Every structure is written in C-alpha cells, then in structure tokens.
Amino acid sequence: MWNQIATQIAQTTGKPFEITDRRSVSGGCINQGYSITDGEQTYFVKTNEASQIEMFEAEALGLKQMHQTQTIRVPQPICCGVRDRASFIAMEWLEFGRGDSQSWEAMGRNLAALHKTVGSDRFGWDRNNTIGSTPQINTWTSDWSEFFAEHRIGYQLRLAKRRGGSFPDISKVVAAVRDILADWQPQPSLVHGDLWSGNAACTTDGEPVILDPATYWGDRETDIAMTELFGGFPAAFYRGYNQAWQLDGGYQERKTPYNLYHILNHFNLFGGGYGSQASRAIDSLLR
C-alpha cells in the first residue's frame, strides 16, 4: 500500500518520492495518521477503511476551497484514493508549535476573513460530507432556520433515537430550533464546520492553521460557538475575530442550538455522558 501511495504522490506533485521512513502520528479519533518522508519531502497521510474514501474526498475538497480563499492557512491536500482495501488522504506536512497571543489574534482575524468570503446565496454544499465519521447532510436550502433545524438537529436526533438515546419528541426540538432561528437570516459563510481546539493550531513560525474541516456554507456563528464548546480558545482569538467582524446581537441564544448539534454528534459517536449534556441543552431550548 505504501509504495502505491508514494507513487500517487509522485505522480500528483511531479516530483520523485520514495518512502524512507514512516511513523505513526495522531490522526484524530476516527483515522490513523502517519508521517512519511524520503529524507527531504515529508507528507501527512490519514488512512481508514476503503468504505470511507468519500469522507477523504470531501475533506480534500473542503481544504481546497478554503485554501483558494487565501484567508487562513490549511494543510494543502495532495491526493486521496483506495489502496489495498484502505482509503487514504495525503497532504502537506506542517510543523506545529505553541503559538502566542499574536498568533491567536491572527487566527481570529483570518477566520473572519474566511467567513467574509462571498460564494453562495444559499446554505449547504455541493455534496454531503462527514462530521467525525457521521454523515453530514448539506442539501442546498435558502432558509437558514430550515437548514439547521432539519439537516443538523433533526438528522442527529433521528440517529440518536436509533442508538437508544432518550430525548424529547424530535418534532418539538426541531420546532424549537426553527423558532429560535426564524428571524435570523445570516450571510452564508464558508465555515470550517468542526472548529474545536483539536482542529486549530499554529506552526512553529506562529502562523495559524485550521484542519480536519467539515466544510459547508452556513452561519459563521456556528464556528465561533464550537470554539467555546470543548474548553474554548484563548481570549486573543475572540479579540482578533471581533476586531475584524463583530458578532451580531442574539449570538448567545443561537449558540445553544449550534452547539447542540456537536453534542448530539458526540453522543452518536461516543455515547457516554454526552447524552446527559445533550438533554440539558434540549431542556434549555424547550423552556
């Protein structure tokens, strides 16, 4: 498999490449990650079962779209495919460091620039992708409240019910989310879609990077809300973002349904205490 991957990388880049060293690195909760090198060129490769190739194809497309905006650094995808019953994606290797307050301010400013990118008058994407390994439905929709209530919360609740989740009637929760967002029609922004602290980093030179996207055109606030969900980003990030594009009034109310989507997804992926966390969020929506 690895010789075949090396050959595909060489064919794509137009540069000879033969692997002289391969080591396991973090690939996230879903995939296996590897660093491969020929001593001069190094690439990051994620692998999974062959059936997951569409996940990698969508990730490559999302990275390319974000890279084309020239607003915020993302790992550039090289190629993806299926070899020896395994799917893979290869991308540029980035050396990460700690980053300082200036790096995180720049992260906020650059993310705001990404969100300001004009490219769609509707919400969704050209294809479905994944959030973790869960399918993410991106059917084009002109109304934001309809899109988020049905394709985000409704879909996750239906999955949760099949997985034994004990939550209130799906139609009631979907209606509550639709009501909260009913008078809110944001500009469609190209969003990362899965922006927690594990998917944001800084290079050793201090340049901010976002990775592992679940891209679509949506409300920019969904990205900001998720940065607050699992530990939060440094204060400098929010300072930089708001200096570039101040959040609108009502964000604090919208943040609850936006983060409910990710909590439900974590329940569907991992179970455990995410079920009670989702229940508390749903209770606050239904009050």
Q: Which residues are known catalytic residues? A: 194
Cα 243 to chain centroid, rounded:
23
The full 3-state SS of 211-276, as one line of letters, equals: CCCCCEEECCHHHHHHHCCCCCCCHHHHHHHHHHCCCCCCHHHHHHHHHHHHHHHHHHHHCCCHHH
Amino acid letter at 248? Answer: D
Q: Tokens representing 269?
A: 């992926």
Q: Tokens representing 114?
A: 């990404």
Burial 203-237 (b: 16+ CB within 10 A, else e): eeeebbbbbbbbbbbbbbbbbbbbbebeeebbebb
Where do the DSSP E strands lie in 67-207? Answer: 77-83, 86-92, 96-97, 129-131, 134-136, 189-191, 200-203
Q: Tokens representing 65?
A: 């779209």
DSSP character at residue 29: T
List 135's β-bridge partners, or say none.
130
